Structure formats: C-alpha cells, structure tokens
C-alpha cells in the first residue's frame, strides 16, 4: 500500500503548484468577481483571461495531465494534482482537466472510432471545444439505470434519439460542441447490453436546450447544467461510440478515476475552507478573544483536520487500488469515497461559513460556492444512499447475501 | 403549561389557513416563477399581485395580527398563525406580518414619539411603506455588541451618524422608507446605556446603499439584504427613538417575540419539506420500489417527524413563558429555540433535497430556497454558538458560576 | 394542549418530592454501595431498608400512584411524578410504581378474573410480591410478534406452556411469584387473535430459570433479567388472562402509559446526569480553568439542556394525547418518544461521563449505571428502528402508502 | 507514504494470524466464559490456559514483537499485528504485547539502569511478571500534568513517595510486581523537569491497593484497574528511572507507539463488531426479511465499513510518520488517532449491539465488552477533548496563534 507519487508526478505537482500560485491565483478572484458582477445573461461566454491561461498551461506542458497516456501518471500520481486544482474554481479548466470533458475524452480515446477521435477527441484535447454528458433524466430515478426512458433506436443506417436529459453539465458553454448521449437501444438484450452512447453534435436538429438549471440558486456560468430534449434526432450509425449496446460498459468505465478526481478536488476545497476558518478564527475577535478561543471552535477545527486527513487517505487508497487492481478491485472503495468525501467537505465548509458569521454566506468568501459544489456532489453520480447500498452489498456478499 | 390558543386565536387560525389556501396558494408559485424568470436587475420592484393580496388581507381583518394590541393575540395564540405563514414565501408580507417590519413596528409603538408614530408607524401598519433594521456591521463580530463601530453622536440639537452596516434586511425594497440605525452615542456610559436607535429616512443625504448582499448566491429580491454606509448623516434629535442611550434596551425587547415568530415560520417550512419528501418518496420509484422503501429513507422521515414535533413544542413552551412570565422568564428558552429550530429545519430540508435527487437542488421545488432561509437563520440574531453560550451560562448560574 | 397537572397531581408531586428528599435520598447511596460491595451471589435478596421505606410510602398514601383508579391521576398528572422517581434508582419500587409490576397490575386489573385479582393483583398492589412479564424470546426477532415460538396450547381443561423466554425483568427477585407468559394458542386464528397471556405461579413444575442475564456487564440485582424455559407447564384454563387469543390486545394495552412512565423516568435520569456534569464542570479545574470553560464543554451543556427540554415536552404531549384521545390517538407519539428519549438520555449521560474523566466510568457516580439503563431502553419494547418504522408508516399513510 | 509492511512483518503477520486461529480462537470463548462464571473474588488469579499459550507463543518466536529491538519491526510493520491481536481479548497478553507492560518495558529498556533492567525488564520480557503505570490521580484533572499532587521527594539517598493514584491498569494481576510511579520531585524546576518516575516493587511498605475500580460495571479481571495509595514509601535513589526530573520526558516517549498499538487493536475490535453485525443481519429474520434488509441497516453497515477503513488509514499514516519522522513529526496525528479511533469503534460496536437486539447487551457476544474497551479509551491517555485541543493548537500555529 504505497501512496507515494512517482518522481515524475512529484515534479508535475511542484510545477502545477507554482503555476497556480504565479499565474492563476493572482487573477482568479478578480475574474470571478467580474463574472458575478455581470448580468446573468451575459455570463454565458468565453473569457479571454481563461483562454490566455489555458494557452500558457498548454505551452508549459501542464495539459491533459489527467490522461495516463499523455502524462504517464497513474491515479495515485494524479491525486495530488487534482487536490491542488480543487483549491481553485478555475484551475481544472485551465489545465484542461475539468469534468465532464475528462471523462468524455477517456471514453472517446478508449472506445471512439478514428473518425470520432479526429472530430471530437482532438479538439477536446486541444482545449478548443467542450462537451457534455447526457445521462440523467428528469422523469425517473436515474440511479436505477433500468428506468431510463430516452431511446437511441437503430433504424436502418441511422440511430434516432428521443428523450429528455438534465443535469447535463457543460451544456451552457458556448464552446460546447458535442454531447455524449446515453439511450436505450435494445430493450430485449440482456440487462447491461441494452443502451448505447451516441456522440451528438450540439447543433443537430432536434436537440433543444430547454433551460439551464439553477443548483441552490447558482447557474455555474459559463458551463452550467442544462435540461435538453432530443426529438427525433437522426444521426448516422457511425455516431455510436464503441458499438450499439455498449453504453453501460462505457459509462461504468468513466466512473472510477473520475470519482477519484472529483474527491481529490473536494479535498482541496475542504482544505481551503479549513484555512479560511483558521484565518478568520485567529484574526477576528469577539468578547475580547480571538474567535478560535470561543466555545467549541477549536474542537471544530480539530475535527475538520481529522476528517479531511481521513478522507484524503481513503481516496489515495482507492487510487492505489485502481492503479494496482483495476476498477473491479476498487468497486467498494469507489463508492466509499463517493459517500465520505462530499459529505465531509460539506460539513467542513458549513463549519467555516458559521465561523465567518454572515460574511460566510456571501460571495466575499469562496465558502458559499464551495458548499454548493460539495452539496451537489452528494447527488451527482447517484445519491450517497445508493452508494451506501453498493458498499453494503459488497460487504454482505462475504456473508452469503446474494444481493 | 397550557399551549391551547384562545378561541379568538383559533378562529384567526382557521381564517388565515383558508385565506392562504384560497387566495395565496393558487398564485404563489406563478408569482415566484415570474420573479425568478425576470432579469435580476428587474426584480427589485413592487408586484401588483402582492399589493392586491395585501389589500384583500387587510380588508378581511387578517392584518398586523402579530401585534397584540391590534389582534389581542399572545405569543401562544400567534404561534400557529406564524407556522401557517411560514409554509409560504410570501404570506407573511401579505398579512403585514413580515420581518423586519414587525420588530420595527413594535419598537416604534412602544418607544416611538407621537411624531415618529405618525410618520413611520402608521404607514408601516398600513402596509404602505417598509423598513430596515441596521445593526450588524461587516467589520466586527456583531454578536458582541461592545465591538460596534458605528456612531450616533449628539452634536447640539442634531444626532450625527457614521458607520457601515450590513445584512440590513429589506433595504432593497423600493417601498423601504425608514431605517432604524443602532450606533454608539456615549462610550463613557455604563455598558448597556451607550447606544441609541435613530429612525433614518431612507433618502437622507449620507445614506448610501453600497450593494445588496447575496446569501448562498440568492438576493431574496425584492426585499434583499443591504450593505449601507452612513457618512455624516445629520438628523434632528427627535429622530432618536426612545431617548439617547436606550438602544440596547430597545434592541433586546425586539428579540423574544421575534424569535418565536421566526422559529414558528421555520417549523412551517420544515413541515413543507417533510411533506415534499413524503410525496416524492411515495410517488417516485427506483429499483422497483417507491423511494421511501429504499435504504434508510423511512427512518429519515421518522426522525424528521420527531425532530419537528420536538422543536414545535419547544417554541410553544417559549411562547407560553413569554406570555406568562415575560422576557426575563424566557431568557434561556429564547436562546434555546434559536439553536434548535433553524438547525432542525436545515437538516429536514437537506434530507428532503436528497430524497428529490438533482431536482431538489433546483428551483422546481421550494427546498433549495427553504434551505437557504434556515441556514441564514443559524447566523441571523447571532450565531448559534453564541446562544449556546447563553443557555449554558444561565444553566451554570445555578451551580455558582458567575459568568 | 394543556400540560398542566391537576391540583391533586401537584400536591402529590410536592409530597413525592419531599419523601424522596427526606426519606430516600439520605439512604440511597449507602444502600447501593452496600449492594455493590456484596458478593454478586448474595445480592439477590430483599433489603430491609427498602421494605421499611415501602411501608412508610404506603402509609403516607404515596403508593400505586401510577394507577388512575387508585390515584385519580391521568398521564399528564403522573408524568412529573415519574420524572421525580427516575432521578433515583430505587424510588419507583418504594412507591410501588416500578416496571414490570405496573404494567402487570394494569393487565390484571383490566383483564383479570376475580380469582386472578385476589391471588395476584392484591398482593402486587400491597407490595408483598413481585412479577415478571415473559414475552421476548432468545431465538427470534421478538419485535416481529409473528415469529414467536412459545406456545400456550389448550388441551382439554388445561393450558400447556412450552418455550423459552428471556429478558424477563424482575425474575431474579426472591419476591417474584407470578409470571405473565405470552404464547401462541391458535395459529389458525387471525393474526392478532392467536396468542394468549397466562398467569404462571413462579414455582410451577416445568418453569426453570436458566440464568440471569448481564446487561452491559450488570445484573441489576436483586430484580434482574432472566432467561426462563417453560417445559410442559400445565395450568388450568382459569390461568389464562382475559380469555384465549387476547394476548396481543392485552399486550398492546400495556404499552402507551408504560412508555410514558419509562420515558419520564429517563428524563429524570438525564437531569441527574446534566446536574452532575454542571457540578463537575464548575468544581474541577484543569489548565487553570473550571472544566466548563474548556473547549466545547459549555456548548455540550447547552445542547443537553435543549435536548432534555424538547424530550420532556414530547413526552408530555404524548401523555396529553393518551389522556384526551386514548391510545389510538397517540400511536405515532408513543413510538416517537420510544425513539427520542432513551437516545437523548444515553447521549446526555455519555457527555456527563466524559466530563467526569475516568471517574465517570466507575460506580462512584451514578452515570455508568444510568448509561446502561438508557442503552437498554433503546432495545426494550422493540429496537428504536422498529419504532422509527411505525412513525414513518403512520406519516406515510397520509400520502397513500398502505404499509 | 508507503504503508507496506516489510517482508519480515508480512511473515510475522501470517504466523500471528495462524497462531490466533489454531491456538487462541479455539479456547478463548471457553476461557472467558469460565472466567465470567467464576465468583468475582476468584477471578483475580492466573489461568493455566493463558500460561500455556504464552509458552507456546514464546517458543514460536511470536513474543515481544512490539519491541523493535527484538522483532526488527517498525510501527507500520507492527500495525497489522496489533490489529490481529485486537480481535481477541487475550491475544495481546499471550504474545507478551499487552499494555501497560509494553510501554513499561520500553521505558525500562531506554531509560532503565542495568540493575533495573535485570530486576524488572528481564522478567517482564520473559512474561514472568507484570507491571502497572501509576500516573492518573483521583483528585485532579490528570490531563493537566501540572496539577499532579503525588510527590517523589528526594531525601538524602532515598526517594520518598506520597500520593494517591488510580486507573493503574494491571494492578489486580497476581503477577504484577512492579509499579512505575510518576511524582513531583522538584516544584522549582522548569515545567517539564519537575517530575520523576520511580520503579516501585509491588510489596513495598506504604503501597496499598485501596480497591479495584469498576469500568462501566466491569473489573477486567484478572488485570483490572487499581486505586492505590503511596504513604511514605521509601526507596533508594537507584529506584528512579532515567534520573530525577526526567518523568515527563519519559512519560511522553511512551505515548506515540503505544497509541498506534491501542488504536490498531481497536480497529481489530471494530472489525469483529462489524462482522458480527453482518452475520446477525444476514442470519436473523424479522418481518419476513433478513435484518440487513430492514430500514437503514444496510446504510449503517456501509457507514461502519467506511469509518473503519478511514480510521485504519489514519493510524497507518501515523505509524509511518513515527517511523520516518519520529514522535515530533507525528504530534498532531498521534492526537488525531486518539480522537478518531476509539469514538469510531464505540459507534460501530453500538450499531452492532443494536442489530443484535437484547442479545447484544449480554455477554453472549463480545460486543458489550468491546464497547466498554472503546468507551474507556475515549478517556484513557487524556479525554478526547484534550487531544482535539492539541490538534487545533498545532493547526493554528500555522496561522500565528501562539497557544
């Protein structure tokens, strides 16, 4: 059980840390403030400062590091990079390591045809376009995949898409050009061979973005989360990724490393919140004492430190299992971190908000936005409760329970 | 210990319930949807539907019921009315029972001069204008009143205000015409005789609303929470409410009943959330079962029911103590409900959001907005931690601790 | 919703309080110390001090107050008496108000034949004998009554008992002379008409106390909790209480008031623990401060106060519902207090233990024993989880769920 | 960050696992049952089965493995061994790896004179005698060492001990022959140079074991926890360990590895509890379902799995820090595991008890005893709250707080 990153990874870590410190940190706050100051309708655009930083990162070779084939980094190696990126709201994009593009790129790389790679993977890896993943549906409990209503029916040499998806992250971005759509192709096939993934050009007739969704009142411009309908969307069979009926297999493959990335970024976010809590608690005074010396505040800080450390180690262990035993050797852990990390981050951020008083609820500190990120991730990829069910099922298998 | 509302109160309760059902409920959702659909800048306005409903409520005699002198209702009597109003985001305003106007009206009624009553109290009670209460400051920990920096200095026959306030709720409302400002008048006086409350016309020179504050990303238009600076604001001495140095005494007097109102409204909100959770849990299906039959969902619903019931009883007990023994007989309880109720509501709403999946985070359900209300009230009127300190201090007094 | 005890009840409350203070408190600690100092085998006996106190209480008319027909007290009336008794480990017995005798006396009074009343109820009410209730079985999950394995078969003019029961509280008491046994009589009858209750003389052939059970290492001498086998125990049909097939109906009837008694006693116990915590926290010093001024201790004390107050109000409300609407009007609440109160008490006691350091774990303070009482009551009468299920079921009925 | 045990450690782990399985497990239950069946007074003795197992373990070279000089094992190496031993209530003694002897042996080895080593260390390492550590005092808050009242005064060529200690674990063991006593020698010296450790033969005049202490009603025979007075106990100066005034330095040195041992054993215990919960939950049925399929039970099992995994990783990380950076590099973590692990174990065991129904509270399962172990360790070595204070202090140092 060795969580030591490779020398190559350690070097990348130092370079990413330095890049964030010298290039991103100095402009991030102003960028976000500007974005929030704009009228909401005007936020859905590209921002030159982001594009410039992306160009610099790309030039520096700090680009697509999430992808093992590019960076030579395994999950244990990449984890500290993800944590560093998670401390910023924009760094992941700047290093071209942001969801959902990362997962989509992996899908295209492993399962895409040459044509799909040329058309979608190359510009994605170049950071020229963005993408969305359209799986969750508003009308059903999407954590139970058998309830999916959207269809990807094969008619002759075409695949025809119908259905409604939501929480399609990235859909609001003007650069979003491709949607990976998951739909039912063959209800008669065996349970996990019924669905297909189709790469849908954003501007295909029948694809209508109905609205962008607020998440706890925020729209996360400019990428956002969209509700989108597909009405008789016709594409050639060559738009299917990896072959008809492979939807689930591909969808599952996205999850392991993706969850490690998410969770490590959340740990970075929790660290930012704890730092803010400490700083505020030391600097601000009430009743003639620094806040940290009032009531249970020190105990809260200690509990946060302990919770963050435990969560990080659990993610690193999951990363190590993925590296050494593959997804099948990490099934329980991949669900465990889904349960443990967003909730931990939510709690640490909530504590930090409380220590900031009213200011903690405003956008003067990154806490309110951080809370929303953590809260949303208790539902994204399936609610925590479903993942607790997975962990329990795998545990109980050892005692003869069949399901 | 009798929590039975008077017959008069029971009659009001039925009439308020009916009014909400027949007049408010049918239009509320559309009104809120319209508000959210508008561009944020355009939300800070009056809404005809609201004004019409107010006129109807006033005509029906369901108006200013919070005020014992008007309605003849004590705290125990009023509590169920507040719970009913809390089930809606607009009802309190429609019955002219909304904070901070309620507290401000009480202050003006009990401590205001005839002139102040005529100028401010009458139009407030008529629902023609609105008001703000300016106490909290951005630069200090406002739960420790001795740190207050704003000043209300007496110079000759004028009082001169300087300082910066924030979280002045209601300040964004175009109808907001008067600000009750709390400032330091005499640093040499004894501790609780140093501050004064001044009634400040909204358009007085030197009063500058610097910005409206987002709370978890929401601005709560059209009333909102403002940050406002007072720069050499000069007013005649007659603008002081209740006499110089009476600021704290007056400020404290607002708190008891106000907290009962807040908490009962939150209980109404928690009931709404629990109802939503039950409805969703019964109607939506996953893994071939209604959601309530999955994992720990039933236990969560039970825990929510138990928590709400306990919280309501604690508030009713506090109301009864206020009615029978006055504020001094309810000091601990007034802090106890501050600690217990917003946190309970936050947790119940969080549970309900989780049961709704992604939808729970959107504005398609009232849960996300409800969560924000509850979260904010863990800080408003002083953070929970300060109130735990009050409860502990009063408890420990019995064991000889002096502070 | 009026929780005010009747004048009669208030008078009793004062007299019980005085009796505890002047008669019981002065000798309780020494009695318990003596009991613990004895060799365990020698603890299963009668204690003169207890019998003398019982005689005094009986003489004073503070006797069998739990029984409405005797005392004229309803549940709301009796609740404060139960809380007072719960502050002591022996008071309930001294006032002849201790479980399981209370429930057994109620059963015999309401359902017993004249013969049963003469033989068992009279000496029980006189405090001359004690009793046990034999329902729970070691081999099955007894919260699901349909799994019960013990039988009470009718053969001619005899009822024949077979089976094994455990957690039969009171079985170790040398004065225990009658066992109320619940067994399956007619598996073909409808679900809740299959079982019978039989009054079994303790020394009937075939009744074998296999062992006394430790609960968290304690045997609760001299009453204790027994495991007892019934092997071909033959009794005349007249030993059946209330008629064959009435077992469930009778068993259920014991529960409502009994649960109010248990819970109010636990609230008394929680108050004792909080008092101990406050006293220790004020008197003992570390790092040059009283313990209450270290870390989060004051917040813990506040949270305990709030939790106790909420729990008490919930029990009082349940008592009031029982008084005004009967068991059917309090079904959910009777389960709610089962969930809320023992857990609350366990947590308050745990907090108090922690504040006492190592001493809190010893028998120098009543905390360790109190913890065990609370912990056991999270399982007695069915595990909390089952009662959460009941609360949820009743809640969801309103939304159309059938079970 | 490499938590991989050395090949040598892995081999030991397999051998210890096999020894427990083939030698200890088959007899442990019967041994414990016999112990509990005996009259309490007769439990304070040696047990042939234990001595025989010790002889076998010694012969097999599975002996004193906790001691790096003997086994060549670092903390990371030893951790899995401690976890295995923690699954049994007797294994640690059988491998001569049980507290407090382990810590005492380390003290004597590193700081003892040749004479002390010959007289005490050798028979301890041979498993022929046992020892106690006398630090905690009944009259003061011992987590604040400056309050210690016991004295170890130097008078000429003698050291004279006075004072009262309690929670001296091991003191009840008939084989206990030496007490390491911590007392105040020089109140004028600097803060951490005032105390001395003295090796006191058990039978020295003036040493009186006043009583053995119950912990949650249990005495943990035959080792137990004693209260012991020292009255004018005179010993030659050569009885001082490591020199006068070195008491604190030595006491601190015991803590790091000792805490890793304790915590890993607790993790073993938590695993035993989770296994019991799973087994019971799968095998026992209620309402026609296995218990694990009722209510929130699966979620509880998942949460337990996640909590155990996180706790283990935190301890392994602490072990690794101790191995690579020494005690000073692991100060925060050594306190972090003190806070996290006993509480986690307590909670997991409580969950398992609840799933067992009444049986979980008896001694038919190891859960009740396991709970007591975990609960006691939330106080042993200082209450959790003190350690939260340490973690917070170290965290806040980075933000300029001095204490």
Q: If DSSP codes are grouped into helix, strand and coil, which group holds residue B229? A: strand
Q: How far is C84 from chain A (nearest CA, A)?
A: 32
Mean pLDDT score of chain A? 96
Q: Considering only CB atoms, which chain A residues are within 8 Å of D389?
A: 298-299, 302
Q: What is the pLDDT of residue D202?
A: 97
Q: In 3D, which of B99, B103, B195, B199 has the Cα closest to residue B145?
A: B195
Mean pLDDT score of chain C? 96
Share of chain D above pLDDT 90, in %: 94
Q: Does the pLDDT at position A90 exceed 80?
A: yes
Q: Do B340 and C301 touch (CB under 8 A)?
A: no
Question: Averaged over D83-90, what is the pLDDT?
Answer: 97
CATH 2.40.40.20 fits A129-245, yes or no: no
Q: Does the pLDDT at position C254 exceed 80?
A: no
Q: In 3D, which of C400, A65, C13, A235 has the Cα closest to residue B283?
A: C400
Q: What is the pLDDT of residue D403?
A: 77
Q: Does the pLDDT at position B254 exceed 80?
A: no
Q: What is the pLDDT of residue C253?
A: 80
Q: How far is D301 from chain C (nearest CA, A)?
A: 14
pLDDT digits (tens, 9 = 90+) for B25-49: 999 999 999 999 998 889 999 999 9
Q: Considering only CB atoms, which chain B residues are within 8 Å of A143?
A: 286, 357
Q: Does the pLDDT at position B288 exceed 90?
A: yes
Q: Considering only CB atoms, which chain B residues are within 8 Å of A295?
A: 385, 388-389
Query: Helices marked H in C164-296 — which ranges?
Result: 247-253, 255-283
**Residue D295 near chain B (CB below 8 Å):** yes
pLDDT digits (tens, 9 = 90+) for D178-217: 999 999 999 999 988 999 999 999 999 999 999 999 999 9
CATH tag, C130-250: 2.40.110.10
Q: In 3D, which of B123, B125, B131, B107 has the Cα closest to residue B58?
A: B125
Question: Among A282-296, B132-146, C88-102, which is the least confidently predicted range?
Answer: B132-146
- Round to whole Å and give the CA distance between A94 and A84: 13
**Residue D141 near chain C (CB below 8 Å):** yes
Q: Considering only CB atoms, which chain A residues are within 8 Å of D336?
A: 302, 305-306, 309
pLDDT digits (tens, 9 = 90+) for A40-73: 889 999 999 999 999 999 999 999 999 999 999 9
Contact D161, D198 (CB under 8 A): yes
Q: What is the pLDDT of residue C311?
A: 98
pLDDT band at A146 (very low <50, low <70, confident <90, very high): confident
Cα–Cα distances in angstroms (integers) from residue D330 to residues A344, B358, D78, D335, in the given order = 23, 42, 17, 9
Q: Do B282 and C311 touch (CB under 8 A)?
A: no
**Residue D360 near chain C (CB below 8 Å):** yes
pLDDT digits (tens, 9 = 90+) for D168-180: 999 999 999 999 9
Asked if this assembly's ipTM is beyond 0.95, the reply is: yes
Q: Do C388 and B298 touch (CB under 8 A)?
A: yes
Share of chain C above pLDDT 70, in %: 100
- Round to whole Å and give the CA distance between D313 and A158: 52
Q: What is the pLDDT of residue D304?
A: 98
**DSSP class per residue in C329-369:** GGHHHHHHHHHHHHHHHHHHHHHHHHHTGGGGGSSSSTHHH
- Round to whole Å and give the CA distance between B310 and B305: 9
Q: Does the pLDDT at position C119 exceed 80?
A: yes
- Round to whole Å and give the CA distance between D226 and D369: 19
Q: What is the pLDDT of residue C238?
A: 97
Contact B313, B1 (CB under 8 A): no
Task: Name the one residue in this structure whose structure tokens are 């939260």.
Answer: D388
What are the DSSP E strand ranges found in D35-172?
130-134, 151-155, 158-169
- Sorted by sequence, the CB contacts under 8 Å of residue C69 that are 6+ apart come out as C109
- Sorted by sequence, the CB contacts under 8 Å of residue B218 that are 6+ apart come out as A217, B369, B372
Q: What is the pLDDT of residue D317?
A: 98
pLDDT digits (tens, 9 = 90+) for C13-45: 999 999 999 999 999 999 999 999 998 889 999
- Round to whole Å and give the CA distance between C243 and C240: 6
What fold characterizes domain A254-397? Answer: Butyryl-CoA Dehydrogenase, subunit A; domain 3 (1.20.140)
pLDDT digits (tens, 9 = 90+) for B340-389: 999 999 999 999 999 999 999 999 999 999 999 999 999 998 999 999 99
**DSSP class per residue in A50-107:** HHHHHHHHHHTT-SSTT-HHHH---HHHHHHHHHHHHTSSSHHHHTT--TTHHHHHHH
Task: Name the one residue in this structure whose structure tokens are 């960050």.
Answer: D1
Strand B130-134 versus strand B176-184 pairing type:
parallel
Cα–Cα distances in angstroms (integers) from residue B365 to residues A212, B243, B357, B361, in the given order = 15, 47, 11, 8
Task: Name the one residue in this structure whose structure tokens are 């919140």.
Answer: A273
Q: If DSSP codes are grouped into helix, strand and coil, which group holds residue B57? A: helix
Could you say which of D295, D298, D300 has the minimum Cβ distance to residue B298?
A: D295
pLDDT digits (tens, 9 = 90+) for D99-125: 999 999 999 999 999 999 999 999 999
- Round to whole Å and give the CA distance between A45 and A172: 9
Q: Do D306 and A314 touch (CB under 8 A)?
A: yes
Question: Averaged over A318-329, what is the pLDDT?
Answer: 95
Q: At what angle do helices D297-325 and D75-86 cross, to 10 degrees?
A: 150
State if pTM tops 0.90.
yes
- Round to whole Å and give the CA distance between D97 and C183: 51
Instruction: Report the CATH superfamily, name and number, of domain B129-250.
Output: Butyryl-CoA Dehydrogenase, subunit A, domain 2 (2.40.110.10)
Question: Averaged over C136-152, what is the pLDDT?
Answer: 92
Mean pLDDT score of chain B? 96
Q: Considering only CB atoms, which chain A residues are within 8 Å of C299?
A: 295-296
Q: Do A141 and B362 touch (CB under 8 A)?
A: no
Subunits with 3+ C-beta pairs closer than 8 A to D: A, B, C
Q: What is the pLDDT of residue C255?
A: 78
Task: Name the one residue in this structure whose structure tokens are 């009308």.
Answer: A139
- Compute, in degrees rounded to 10, the torsion defined by CA atoms C50, C56, C62, C66: 30
Q: Does the pLDDT at position A254 exceed 80?
A: no
Q: How far is D342 from chain A (nearest CA, A)?
A: 13
Q: Considering only CB atoms, which chain C residues are within 8 Å of D357?
A: 141-143, 379, 383
Which of left, alpha, beta for A14 (phi over 0: left; psi -120 to 50: alpha)?
alpha
pLDDT band at A138 (very low <50, low <70, confident <90, very high): very high
Q: Does the pLDDT at position C403 exceed 80?
A: no
Share of chain A above pLDDT 90, in %: 94
Give the CATH class of A7-98: mainly alpha
Q: In 3D, which of A83, A96, A80 has the Cα closest to residue A130?
A: A96
pLDDT band at C223 (very low <50, low <70, confident <90, very high): very high
**Residue B291 near chain A (CB below 8 Å):** yes
Q: In 3D, which of C278, C11, C12, C313 has the Cα closest to residue B321?
A: C313
Q: What is the pLDDT of residue D238?
A: 97
Q: What is the pLDDT of residue C88?
A: 97
Q: Do D306 and A336 touch (CB under 8 A)?
A: yes
Residue ranges per domain, chain A?
A: 7-98, 129-245, 254-397
Q: At what angle do helices D255-283 and A384-397 cross, to 10 degrees?
A: 80
What fold characterizes domain D114-246? Answer: Butyryl-CoA Dehydrogenase, subunit A; domain 2 (2.40.110)
Mutate: best of B281, B292, B298, B299, partner D, most D CBs <10 A:
B299
Question: Averaged over A159-187, what is the pLDDT?
Answer: 97
Q: If DSSP codes are grouped into helix, strand and coil, which group holds residue D207? A: strand
């Amino acid at each position: 059980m060795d969580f030591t990153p490779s020398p190559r990874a350690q070097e990348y870590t130092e370079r990413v840390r330095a890049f964030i410190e010298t290039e991103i940190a100095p402009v991030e706050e102003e960028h976000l403030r500007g974005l929030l100051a704009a009228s909401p309708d005007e936020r859905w655009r590209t921002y030159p400062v982001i594009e410039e930083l992306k160009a610099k990162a790309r030039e520096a070779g700090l680009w697509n590091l999430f992808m093992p084939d590019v960076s030579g980094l395994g999950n244990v190696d990449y984890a500290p990079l993800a944590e560093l990126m998670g401390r910023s709201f924009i760094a992941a994009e700047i290093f071209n390591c942001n969801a959902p593009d990362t997962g989509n790129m992996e899908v295209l790389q492993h399962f895409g045809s040459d044509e799909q790679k040329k058309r979608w993977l190359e510009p994605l890896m170049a950071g020229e376009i963005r993408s969305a993943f359209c799986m969750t549906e508003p009308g059903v409990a999407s954590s139970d995949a058998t309830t999916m209503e959207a269809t990807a029916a094969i008619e002759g040499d075409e695949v025809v898409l119908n259905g409604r998806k939501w929480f399609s992250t990235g859909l609001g971005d003007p650069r979003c050009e491709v949607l990976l759509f998951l739909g039912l192709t063959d209800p008669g096939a065996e349970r996990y061979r019924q669905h297909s993934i189709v790469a849908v050009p954003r501007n295909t007739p029948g694809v209508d973005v109905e609205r962008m969704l607020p998440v706890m009142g925020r729209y996360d411009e400019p990428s956002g989360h969209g509700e989108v309908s597909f009405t008789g969307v016709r594409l050639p069979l060559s738009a299917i990724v990896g072959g008809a009926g492979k939807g689930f297999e591909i969808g599952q493959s996205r999850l392991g490393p993706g969850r490690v990335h998410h969770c490590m970024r959340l740990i970075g976010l929790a660290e930012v919140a704890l730092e803010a809590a400490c700083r505020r608690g030391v600097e601000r005074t009430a009743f003639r004492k620094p806040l940290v010396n009032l009531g249970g505040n020190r105990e809260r800080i200690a509990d946060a430190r302990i919770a963050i450390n435990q969560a990080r180690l659990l993610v690193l262990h999951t990363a190590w299992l993925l590296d050494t035993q593959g997804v099948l050797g990490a099934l329980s852990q991949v669900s465990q971190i889904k349960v443990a990390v967003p909730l931990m981050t939510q709690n640490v951020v909530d504590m930090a908000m409380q220590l900031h008083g009213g200011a903690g609820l405003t956008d003067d500190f990154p806490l309110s936005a951080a809370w929303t990120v953590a809260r949303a991730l208790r539902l994204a990829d399936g609610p925590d409760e479903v993942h607790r069910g997975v962990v329990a099922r795998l545990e109980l298998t050892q005692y003869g329970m069949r399901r």
